[in-house]
Amino acid sequence: MDEPFRKQVVDAVDAAGLAPAIDDRAAVALAASFYRNETTGQTDGKYGPPWQVLKVEDAPGGYDGIALRHPASRTLVIVNRGTEGIKSVDDWTQNIRAVLFKSPGPQLDSAMGLLAEGFQLANGQGVDEILICGHSLGGALADAQGALAKSFFASKGLICPPVRVVGVASAGFASAARGYASARGMAPDPAAQGYITHFVRSEDLVPNHPARAIFGTDQKLASIYEARFQKPPGRSSASHSEWRRIVDRLKQHMRTLYYQFFDEPKARHIWFSAKAKTFEARNGAFPTWERGFQRPDDW
């Protein structure tokens, strides 16, 4: 299933450019917008005026990022792209090295470089705040950038403005980032937990893997459920199929779904109807209906 709320994300980014400040929901939209559309090959977000596009980075090693300036709030915005599909070899290499082997890989170097260059390009017009965001791999890089920003700027003789990080479905590279910092005479900010927030779902495997480590704090959002006719797990192949409540792991991780249901807390859930191809927020952390031989009305 393709990302279902692309237009809403793009519209939200356009609206954020006109707003006096960038709230967390707009930051989640920014994180979702910096992916290429499979049909057009172009990035979903266009970042037209009043957004000021300072730098678009496409670095060796697979890193893609964009530095923007939000004139109304004098905010430097850094958006890191997440993993683009199963064929993104460089992205998966980065993920595996950072999580399993605690090696930062080339993408963190590129991300820190964009942070520095973006600040230099924006500083002439004034920067009162730095907002860093990203989804999945991009959220993991944002977590590291935010925690290391103060020390990184100091190493260059610069004063770092206040930093805010909004990660979405973030993988966790904090262990790799600590090694990266130590090798360069830097240190993570002990106060980072107070200004780095990651929006995640309990049923999303990426921000819940056992080796994950972050500098920030997780905020749980509603998970997504649906009904599917299949054999019960853990039983013989001769068992009868039945309708079951399931978790589709791909839907849990979709960036546009994180935006569209950003306001739905973990005490609620999102129900996907395969018949109607719709998503609906409902009460309860998960559906009360679990399984049965009779097909549910809203399957």
Instruction: Tell me the pLDDT tens digit for each residue of 242-270.
Output: 999 999 999 999 999 999 999 999 999 99
The model carries a pTM of: 0.93
The answer to whether 10 and 260 are in contact (CB under 8 A) is no
Query: What sign for the dihedral angle of Cα 117, 119, 120, 124?
Result: positive
Looking up tokens 């009305």, which residue turns up?
297
The answer to whether 108 and 134 are in contact (CB under 8 A) is no
Q: How would residue 58 be classed by pLDDT, with cut points 50, 70 and 90?
A: very high
Evaluate if residue 220 carries a pLDDT over 60.
yes
The answer to whether 135 and 127 are in contact (CB under 8 A) is no
Q: How many CA atoms lie within 13 A of 1 on its CB side?
A: 20
Does a cis peptide bond (omega within 30 degrees of 0) precede residue 50?
yes
Nearest to 189 by CA among 224, 157, 158, 160: 160
Mean pLDDT score, 54-61? 91
Average pLDDT of the residues of the chain: 92
The answer to whether 166 and 199 are in contact (CB under 8 A) is yes
- For residue 92, the model assigns a pLDDT of 45
d(CA 114, CA 57): 7
Please state the φ and ψ torsions of residue 227, each to the nearest 5 degrees: -110, 140
- For residue 64, the model assigns a pLDDT of 94
d(CA 68, CA 16): 12
- For residue 89, the model assigns a pLDDT of 47
Evaluate if residue 101 carries a pLDDT over 50.
no
The answer to whether 163 and 150 are in contact (CB under 8 A) is yes
Q: What interhelical angle do 137-155 and 89-100 show, nearest 10?
A: 70
